[in-house]
A = this chain, B = another copy of it.
């Protein structure tokens, strides 16, 4: 693993940094291919959106791209994690008027994925831990991720690839680290991200590619009963790209009923550098 803090090779940060003190910051987890970030513009857009909503100055895209090129050097297939914190200062929770944000880059090789292949699909369960609700924080990829941490602690069976989290009102939000799509045979449905959850880069990619291929994709509240009745389900994130769901909490899905041409397009685009 390599670590850069504000462009310098170091793996330590001040404990007074607000990223640690309050989770006051954002992150992006980025797939690297051929030493380049995949779907970079979507990551950059979400980072800028999150920074705007939290009031953290966005890093300059050109310097950031140069730093990422530096960090990604030599990694044909890997992961880059970018953390942007509000830096130090302020008075308790109240941030300083002119924050000096910190940029942290970590790169590591792509983790092996023993959980099932692209064609075979993955097995998924439900989590008891609810996803947090806050309209002011929903959608952005901030550093307050204890709900996903607790959700991820709920199983140790290595054949389970992901856990689905519900909000306290019983609406499915998505996986601990993935967005969820439901295929009903006519259109795609995916939970909204305006009260809970994260607006994933591959979620946006899937919605764009669905529109381009003439498939309707709508945001809709989904409950566990809706998922059981689905023709098929799949999950997306930046590292795995797309995972068809073979089984959810004991219920099996016939993977042949999924709209594979869309899934294949998402899979390809998700891991394309640029």
21 contacts between A and B (CB under 8 A): A3-B15, A12-B12, A12-B15, A15-B83, A15-B104, A17-B20, A21-B83, A23-B23, A23-B145, A24-B145, A24-B146, A55-B153, A91-B111, A93-B152, A94-B149, A130-B135, A130-B136, A133-B168, A134-B168, A136-B150, A137-B146
Known: A129-B136, A132-B134. A54 touches B12 (CB 8 A): no
**Which A residues contact B (CB, under 8 angstroms)?**
1, 3, 5, 11-24, 27, 54-55, 83, 85, 91-95, 104, 106, 111, 129-137, 142-153, 168, 176-177, 195
Tell which of B16, B135, B151 touches A168, judged by Cβ atoms closer than 8 Å: B135
Write out the residue numbers on chain B whose beta carbons fall within 8 Å of the beta carbon of A168. Answer: 133-135, 195
Tell which of B18, B129, B137 touches A132, judged by Cβ atoms closer than 8 Å: B137
Copies in the complex: 2
Complex Cα–Cα for A94 and B127 (A): 13
Are B147 and A24 closer than 8 Å at their CB atoms? no
Taking the closest CB of chain B, its distance from the CB of A22, in whole angstroms, is 4
Taking the closest CB of chain B, its distance from the CB of A79, in whole angstroms, is 10
Tell which of B5, B91, B136 touches A15, judged by Cβ atoms closer than 8 Å: B5
Known: A54-B146, A137-B146. A151 touches B21 (CB 8 A): no
Known: A134-B132, A168-B133, A195-B168. A93 touches B176 (CB 8 A): yes
Complex Cα–Cα for A150 and B104 (A): 22
Write out the residue numbers on chain B whose beta carbons fall within 8 Å of the beta carbon of A1. Answer: 16
Are A144 and B15 closer than 8 Å at their CB atoms? no
Complex Cα–Cα for A14 and B104 (A): 11
Are A93 and B148 closer than 8 Å at their CB atoms? yes
Taking the closest CB of chain B, its distance from the CB of A104, in whole angstroms, is 5
- Which chain B residue lies CB-closest to A5? B15
Are A143 and B15 closer than 8 Å at their CB atoms? no
Complex Cα–Cα for A148 and B18 (A): 13
Taking the closest CB of chain B, its distance from the CB of A121, in whole angstroms, is 20
Complex Cα–Cα for A94 and B162 (A): 11
- Which chain B residue lies CB-closest to A53? B150
> Sorted from nearest, which 5 A-B pairs have the closest CB atoms?
A23-B23, A144-B144, A94-B152, A12-B12, A132-B134
Write out the residue numbers on chain B whose beta carbons fall within 8 Å of the beta carbon of A143. Answer: 20-23, 146
Write out the residue numbers on chain B whose beta carbons fall within 8 Å of the beta carbon of A23. Answer: 22-23, 143-146
Are A11 and B5 closer than 8 Å at their CB atoms? no
Are B11 and A15 closer than 8 Å at their CB atoms? yes
Are B147 and A134 closer than 8 Å at their CB atoms? yes
Are B15 and A14 closer than 8 Å at their CB atoms? no
